[in-house]
Amino acid sequence: MMRNPSIIAELNTFEEKKTQLKEEITEAKANIKNVDMQIEDLLGPEQKKSLEILKQHDKEMNDFSEEVKILKEKIKLQEKDLKNKEQEQDKFRSKFKALFAKRDKINEEISKTENNIDGKQEKSRELEKKVNVVSLDKARINAELAGLNEEFKEYEGVKLFKNKSQEQIKREIWQFEKMVNDIGAVNMRALEVYEQADKEYKLLMEKKEKLSSEREDILVMMNEIESKKKELFMKTFNVINENFRRIFSMLSSKGQTFLEIEDAKDLFNNGLLIKVRISGKKYLDIRSLSGGEKTLTALAFIFSIQEHEPASFYILDEVDAALDKRNSEKLSKLLHE
């Protein structure tokens, strides 16, 4: 059977395939080795760099932990100081209610005075416009006067007509005009002075018009900026106020709260008020609440800002110190969500 040509041919073919497979295996191993070397070249430096970054990160975490400890100690001291100041504030408010009423009256008078000042400033701006117009007229008149003075230099030393009749003056003028015609010379200096003064006057008028145009553009731009600023503020305020209502309702099942702008006509020179209703129908200022109620309100406000524009991280240290077990559980659930 070994001499069967077909079997021998198959064996030869098998050997050739075997040889070919060995060559392919050898080539594949070489390629794998080459790829391993390339991976080592590419990932080796990155791995080393990553290890260095991790070491640096560990160091920063240690530094951060130390800083957190220091901050915790500071916060404890500040909370203690805050409690003392709140007690002093309560005493102060009980003793000096009359002063607060007087302060409100003074603030009202200050507001009226500021309105009067605004009116006077507007009048001052009107007067400034008039002064600018007068200055331009003065410059024009000075230019014309300079031209006249320059023209009058030709007549220095000439005696003025005094005690002469109109007919005598006319006759002398006619005689001088005849003399001028006989002389035939014309003084062109006056025209040059006039042209120079006229040129300066036109230049000043162009500057005035340019400044007026630029002033109007600046006022328009200021009004646009103020409008956009107010629009952005109110948009942000409405979002945070809605978040504040919703989050507070998650922490207090019976309470309601909202933000209130002190002066809607003057947003950026006044503040915001936090109105809270825990029970009953009356809304109270946050300063009139208990420690636990203040904590829930403050946390709801912080989370409402966080939902609008989140920060990278938050550190909350013993925020449940003034809360009972039930409210602490609500806070934990909210934080989990």
pLDDT digits (tens, 9 = 90+) for 251-280: 887 778 888 888 878 878 888 888 888 776
For residue 137, what are the CA distances in angstroms to 134, 194, 200?
5, 16, 12
Provide the angle, in degrees to the nearest 10, between the axes of the packed helices 325-336 and 189-251: 120
Query: Taking Cα atoms as reference points, which of 327, 308, 322 lies closest to residue 255?
Result: 327
| Res 46 pLDDT > 70 | yes
The model's confidence at residue 150, banded by pLDDT at 50, 70 and 90, is confident
pLDDT at 62 over 60: yes
Could you tell me which residue, 70 or 149, shows the higher pLDDT? 70
Length of the chain: 337
What is the pLDDT averaged over residues 281-303? 83
Number of Cβ within a 10 Å radius of residue 59: 10
Chain centroid offset of residue 284 CA: 33
User: Distance between CA 41 and CA 35 in Å, rounded?
Assistant: 10
pLDDT of residue 327: 86
User: What is the pLDDT, as a whole number, of residue 240?
Assistant: 92
- Identify the pLDDT of residue 239: 92
Residue 1 has pLDDT above 60, yes or no: no
C-alpha to C-alpha distance for 237 and 98, rounded to whole angstroms: 33
Measure the CA–CA gap between 112 and 27, rounded to whole angstroms: 94
Residue 242 has pLDDT above 90, yes or no: yes
| Chain mean pLDDT for the chain | 82
Residue 291: what pLDDT?
Answer: 85
pLDDT given for residue 281 in this prediction: 65
User: Stretch 7-32: mean pLDDT, rounded?
Assistant: 84
Burial of 316 (0-12, 13-18, 19+ CB in 10 A): exposed
